[in-house]
Amino acid sequence: MDHYIFKSDRLGFRNWTEEDKSKMGMINSDPKVMEHFPSIPTQKQTYEFIDRMRDQFSKNGFCYFAVDKLENNEFIGFIGIAEQTFESDFTPCVDIGWRLAQAEWGKGFATEGAKKCLEFGFNEMGLEKIKSICPEINTRSEKVMKKIGMKKSKSFNHPLLFEYKELEKCVLYEIER
106 torsion bin: left (phi>0), alpha (psi -120 to 50), beta (else)? left
Q: What is the pLDDT of residues 120-136, one digit of tens each?
A: 999 999 999 999 999 99
What average pLDDT does the chain have? 95
When pLDDT is averaged across residues 10-34 and rounded to a whole number, the result is 96
Average pLDDT, integer, range 34-46: 93
Q: How confident is the model at residue 1 (pLDDT cuts 50, 70, 90)?
A: very low
Give 17's contacts (C-beta < 8 A, 6+ positions apart): 66
Handedness of CA 172, 175, 176, 177 (dihedral sign): negative
Amino acid, single-letter form, for residue 100: L
What's the pLDDT at 33? 94
DSSP string, 9-35: SSEEEE---TTHHHHHHHHHT-TTTTT
What are the boundaries of each domain within the chain? 6-127
The neighbour count for residue 94, using CB atoms within 10 Å, is: 19
For position 28, what pLDDT does the model report?
96
Per-residue pLDDT for 147 more than 90? yes
Cα torsion 15, 82, 118, 30: sign? negative
Predicted confidence at residue 2, as pLDDT, reads 67
Mean per-residue pLDDT for 14-19? 95
Reply yes or no on domain 6-127 having CATH 3.40.630.30: yes
